[in-house]
Chain A
Amino acid sequence: MTRSLIRSAIGLALTSAVLTVIMFRLSSPFAAVFELSVCAGLISVLFLSTISLTHPITYQEAAQHQRERYSRYFVLPYILIVIGIIFAFVQVRPELRLPPPAAQTDVRLVLWNLRQVDLIGQAIILLAGVFGVVLLLKEAHKK
């Protein structure tokens, strides 16, 4: 609900970090690692890179956005009701093969022993994101 895009992106990263902790506490280290890697890492870098390339809107545009903001969400309750009705009447029985709760919940073991490749991949993405922000913003700072 904040007006600042940067704060929204940071809020998303913090929410993902909290969700990661909750998933670890619920004995789901895989889901937690994916959540931490994807949302707190990748998505945040992409959002911050994109936001850094945009220009702030004018005062008139901000006032107009404020007036229209709540009107965008009036369809949402209707969509939720329709989805609820669909799920109530349609018998969806997926053959789920849920993995057993992981015996080890140590994040170090999961990250380094089981998902090494992803760790290297994450490091490369973050380095690429840093390159992007530095390269594409360099002239703006010089000016």
Chain B
Amino acid sequence: MVSLLILVPFFAAIFLNAPLKALREKLAFGAALVLFLGQMLLMIFPKAGSWTAHAAVLDNLLRFPLKMDALSTVLLFCIGAVLSAALLLSLRAIPQDDRRLNFISVLLLMQAGMNGVVLVADLFSLYVFLEIVAVSSFILIAFDKHIHAFEAAFKYLVMSVVASALMLSSIAMILLVSGDTSFPGISAALQGSPDSLLIASAVGIFICAAFIKSGLMPFHGWLPDAYSAAPAPVSVLLAGVVTKTVGIYTLLRIVVFVFGFTLPLKNILLIVGALSALAGALAALAQTDFKRMLAYSSISQMGYIILGLGSGTPLGVLGAVFHLFNHAIFKSLLFSNSAAIESRAGIRNIQEMSGLGSRMPWTALTCAVGSLSTAGMPPLAGFWSKLLIIIALWMSGNYAYAVIAILASLLTLAYFLYLQRNVFFGKAKEAFNKIEEAEFVILLPAVVFSAITFVVGVAFPWIWNTLLLRLPGIFGV
């Protein structure tokens, strides 16, 4: 019963703020971990009988027009995985029980919002659940309540409100033409009016709003500040799933299943994707703050996803979805590494670090896996998704964009080699002589995500034949 994916986190957030404060502080972490891990397991075993047993009863009570397909399943798995990682990191990043209870409450609301975004089949409902994620993100970015956090949260809020206004305007214009806000209704209406100036304007405005939500260039102003000023678990969340769910997934869903591919739309996606991939990589090269480098790297990798989408071919869309999954995993891994180093060394300036590899070997190893996967080195997962995108671009005749994608990969390798060399190699500074490996709760998400990155990469031929080729609704484009 898919509506439970929205209702259970919502009611859990309410229950955790009921009276009996001591009891709920003890229950909060365990309950949230069960919900997040449970969501992951349900996506791996979707036909499990126990949770669908009472579907008929709830179906009669709540008539939610929700739809779960292959694309939703991928996102729901990523949401569960990254939320679990953020929860584990919060054990050390937010040591006070009462503050962590508040953090978990907002995390549960964000889970309800993100699950709603990937499950709804109506444009206005999509907007409503996007707003849930926006408000929750604003609270979490400002959670530490220092001046930089407030500044970053305010920037995020302003850009988010502009995007929301654009989205609403687009929905209003689409409603004039279609008379309906459901995805199939809009798609049918748009196919019946292909040359309408109003529709073209509405599509363009909606796409701009999605670009702002994704933090793609040139609408990326809020993203580096938000990623770097937020607490460590929130950075993992923002980079891992939030921008992907509210921005990239929305684009994928609306372009592939509602608007459809037109030549101007493909060109816009290709231009923005190329700009983000290249400029994001160049900007990352100039950074000295660990988290800001990862933030610009995220912009660059999201540019890859948009390039795959912009090719307009099934292979390109498949590559975009696969890279979306991979990026959620390896970017969360890298931000976990950043949290580990910050918790032990107390700094984020890459130029002030050196020789940490000997003091924090597991962090160094997992960071190397994440960095190489991001750069597209075989046989890791990132190599295969980037390869699919580049092949799709080449086969669809977008040769220049394929070359840009390869160049951006080289730049990605450059800045991650710089990061690795400065942080983990060389002689350890005297100040770091007493540093130990990161704590288990911080190391665990990094180890699990690096294992997923390695296994998905090595087992890619099996994954391609068994899973990807059988994804309905994506190859049906």
Contact = CB atoms under 8 A, between A and B. Distances in A.
A122 B179 contact: no
A125 B127 CA distance: 12
Interface in B98-129: 102, 105-106, 109, 112-113, 116, 120, 122, 124-125, 128-129
Contacts, number: 106
A30 B182 CA distance: 13
B62 A125 contact: no
Interface stretch (A18-26, A63-71, A93-101): A93-101
A111 B13 CA distance: 24
Interface in B282-317: none
A131 B128 contact: no
Interface in A120-142: 120-125, 127-129, 131-132, 135-136, 139
Contacts of B7: 120
Given A46-B157, A116-B62, A124 B109 contact: yes
A116 B189 contact: no
A92 B150 CA distance: 44
Contact of B120 (A34, A117, A122): A117
Contacts of B422: none
A50 interface: yes
Interface stretch (A4-12, A37-45, A75-83): A37-45
Residue among B124, B128, B180, B189 with max Cβ neighbours from chain A (10 Å)? B128
Nearest to A129: B135
Q: How large is the interface on B (under 10, 10 to 19, 20 to 34, 35 or more residues)?
A: 35 or more
B157 to A, nearest CB: 7
Given A46-B161, A96-B177, A136-B145, A117 B132 contact: no
B184 to A, nearest CB: 15
A118 B64 CA distance: 9
Size category, A interface:
35 or more
Contacts of B138: 49, 132
B316 to A, nearest CB: 31
A120 B163 CA distance: 22
A2 interface: no
Contact of A95 (B105, B124, B193): B193
A83 B318 CA distance: 44
Contacts of A122: 128
Given A50-B157, A99-B179, A120-B6, A42 B143 contact: no
Given A53-B154, A117-B120, A124-B10, 18 more contacts: A37-B128, A94-B196, A94-B197, A94-B198, A95-B196, A96-B176, A96-B177, A97-B189, A98-B176, A115-B125, A116-B64, A117-B65, A117-B125, A118-B125, A124-B112, A125-B128, A127-B14, A131-B109
20 contacts: A30-B175, A46-B135, A49-B135, A49-B138, A50-B154, A94-B196, A116-B62, A116-B63, A117-B65, A118-B125, A120-B7, A120-B64, A121-B132, A123-B10, A124-B109, A127-B109, A131-B102, A131-B109, A132-B138, A135-B143
Interface of A: 30, 34, 37-38, 42, 45-46, 49-50, 53, 92, 94-99, 113, 115-118, 120-125, 127-129, 131-132, 135-136, 139
